[in-house]
Chains A and B, each alone.
Chain A
């Protein structure tokens, strides 16, 4: 049986190809902390798909774009707290999840609104039905699948962005897809 997180000596080593990108990321984060707006835009470009996918799996679609902006503003204001640039993806994902949790906590006091209200691009019913099915999956599968199916990110890219191990992402993708098929009634 494939284990999600079991790491031996070999698996724990960061892949050599990630070394250069880790150096780039550290430089970008330092530049953002110094107020470099272009660096911030680069960081946004690299991570917006991950943040959007995390939020899309948790909050109503009409509010996702606003929350994405809020997450990045929060990341900008707190980026000096980040001691280890290599952990940026996991850190940003945690901000996104916490922001979604806050949003849902406040939304409990208000009337629930359907997800297909006017606003933004019109979305077909089939898309919303699939999104609804994905949202019923366990959190880890939901996020990984949305990064893959909404944005076409590869498993390796998802691992690099989120800080998860490649093995963990692979399991999330395959188990998530299996469950999604069951939810959608696909044999």
Chain B
């Protein structure tokens, strides 16, 4: 069956084609804005540019408003006093209402219903509304919603989901996901957007990710772009794009792994994270170490502090086999969970530029 709506190279659907012909007339024909200015000498010097260099720059287009002359003071007769007071009261009320609305707006996020009629507290909505601090957004099996997270991104809330807005202020925005699935696209500096679940806290490090959690706190964090820190219960996972981390109320965030690893690896890793029987846990660990690819060094690095002393040597050796220790790292230091050594080894994994981590804590899991 043709899916022309999805792929225009498929055999055409006449109805869609007709709409394309009508709406295609609305295409824009403008070109990219170009504002070129010569920068001041001190600016060019600061940027390390030559004196004659030109750069694209943007200049404000609006002029400052002209100052107004003060209004002359007039004598107001007594008979005008009552209506004037009434007007003043009305204005005061208007200002108060406006201030109150502005205060609510500053502590709330815009929400749009994408499908069905989601609910904020007990109020259902079908178009746009706002989610205030302390309020709960709930979707049922037929509704979804999109939240604009201040000015730093957006969160899409899937069906059967309940989220609460905990806090929103400069450089700190916090949601609680009680159950369901949300998809976040965040462009803020690391650490500004946080989602709490019953079993872990997801801290955005500039990324796109999906977080699903059940009522009992069992969940899965999957990262599509950037990084997310996932922490609780003394465990901390740094999950890169293309990787996921499970979580549950008993064990907290699991060891992160790349999604393209094979099922045997994932299954064994889940057992390493959750198995209570020591013998079975060690069996599972052996499978993980055996099946790990070079790319799975990220997982092995996270495992070093998570395994017992008796198994740590095997994990360190398995990681060293895939990513050799840098010159400043020794096996003994890694075995003793020396922070500097493990950080240095992390930097050798080739996952990101270390400067990227500035402004955020160093990647040492507990």
- Cα of A44 to Cα of B34 in the assembled complex, Å: 11
Q: Which of B3-11, B164-172, B230-238, B299-307 contacts A (4 or more CB under 8 A)?
A: B3-11
| CB < 8 Å neighbour of A5 from B5, B20, B181 | B181
- Cα of A52 to Cα of B144 in the assembled complex, Å: 25
| A4: B residues at CB distance < 8 A | 114-115, 144, 156, 158-159
B19 contacts A by Cβ under 8 Å: yes
- Cα of A43 to Cα of B112 in the assembled complex, Å: 28
Q: 8 Å CB contacts to A: which residues of B34-92?
A: 34-36, 55-58
Contact A86 B226 (CB under 8 A): yes
B273 contacts A by Cβ under 8 Å: no
- Cα of A48 to Cα of B127 in the assembled complex, Å: 26
B278 contacts A by Cβ under 8 Å: no
Q: Which of B202-210, B288-296, B317-325 contacts A (4 or more CB under 8 A)?
A: B202-210
Contact A14 B224 (CB under 8 A): yes
B363 contacts A by Cβ under 8 Å: no
User: What does the 1/0 interface line of B124-137 toward A look like (CB < 8 Å)?
Assistant: 00011000000000
| CB < 8 Å neighbour of B6 from A97, A131, A154 | A154
Q: 8 Å CB contacts to B: which residues of A68-102?
A: 68-69, 72-73, 76-77, 81-84, 86-87, 90-91, 94, 97-98, 101
B279 contacts A by Cβ under 8 Å: no
| A119: B residues at CB distance < 8 A | none
Contact A40 B159 (CB under 8 A): no
Contact A76 B58 (CB under 8 A): yes
Contact A84 B226 (CB under 8 A): yes
Instruction: Report A147 CB to chain B, min CB distance, Å.
Output: 11
- Cα of A146 to Cα of B25 in the assembled complex, Å: 12
Give the secondary structure class of A's interface.
helix
B162 contacts A by Cβ under 8 Å: no
User: What does the 1/0 interface line of B223-245 toward A look like (CB < 8 Å)?
Assistant: 11110000000000000011010
Contact B114 A141 (CB under 8 A): yes
Nearest-neighbor residue (CB-CB) of B182 within chain A: A5
B23 contacts A by Cβ under 8 Å: yes
Contact A87 B23 (CB under 8 A): no
A27 contacts B by Cβ under 8 Å: no
| A141: B residues at CB distance < 8 A | 114
Nearest-neighbor residue (CB-CB) of B221 within chain A: A12
B310 contacts A by Cβ under 8 Å: no
Instruction: Report A58 CB to chain B, min CB distance, Å.
Output: 11
Contact A12 B207 (CB under 8 A): no
| CB < 8 Å neighbour of B56 from A37, A151, A174 | A37
Inter-chain contact count A-B, CB under 8 Å? 211
| A65: B residues at CB distance < 8 A | 28, 30
- Cα of A81 to Cα of B206 in the assembled complex, Å: 10
Contact B8 A154 (CB under 8 A): yes
Contact A5 B28 (CB under 8 A): no
A117 contacts B by Cβ under 8 Å: no
Nearest-neighbor residue (CB-CB) of B212 within chain A: A6
Contact A72 B259 (CB under 8 A): no
Q: Which of B146-154, B193-201, B336-344 contacts A (4 or more CB under 8 A)?
A: B146-154
A107 contacts B by Cβ under 8 Å: no
User: What does the 1/0 interface line of A1-40 toward B look like (CB < 8 Å)?
Assistant: 1011111111111100000000000000000000111001
- Cα of A141 to Cα of B154 in the assembled complex, Å: 16
Instruction: Report B7 CB to chain A, min CB distance, Å.
Output: 5
- Cα of A52 to Cα of B27 in the assembled complex, Å: 8
User: What does the 1/0 interface line of A146-167 toward B look like (CB < 8 Å)?
Assistant: 1011111011100000010100
Nearest-neighbor residue (CB-CB) of B184 within chain A: A90
| CB < 8 Å neighbour of B222 from A9, A121, A180, A186 | A9
| CB < 8 Å neighbour of A173 from B6, B112, B144, B189 | B6
Contact B26 A94 (CB under 8 A): no
| B266: A residues at CB distance < 8 A | 9
Contact B23 A150 (CB under 8 A): yes
B183 contacts A by Cβ under 8 Å: yes
- Cα of A64 to Cα of B28 in the assembled complex, Å: 9
| A35: B residues at CB distance < 8 A | 55-57
Contacts beyond the supplied A84-B187, A138-B114: 13 A-B pairs with Cβ under 8 Å: A7-B222, A9-B220, A12-B210, A12-B223, A12-B259, A13-B259, A37-B36, A84-B225, A94-B185, A98-B151, A140-B144, A150-B27, A165-B183
Can you list 24 A-B pairs, Cβ within 8 angstroms, ordered by A?
A4-B158, A7-B183, A7-B210, A12-B244, A14-B225, A36-B56, A44-B31, A61-B26, A64-B28, A65-B30, A68-B28, A73-B35, A87-B187, A87-B208, A90-B185, A90-B187, A94-B151, A97-B148, A124-B25, A139-B146, A140-B115, A149-B23, A152-B24, A154-B7
Q: Which residues of chain B have a CB within 8 Å of any CB of chain A?
A: 5-9, 15-16, 19-20, 22-28, 30-36, 55-58, 110, 112-115, 127-128, 141, 144, 146, 148, 151, 153-154, 156, 158-159, 181-183, 185-187, 189-190, 206-208, 210, 212, 220, 222-226, 241-242, 244, 259-260, 266, 356
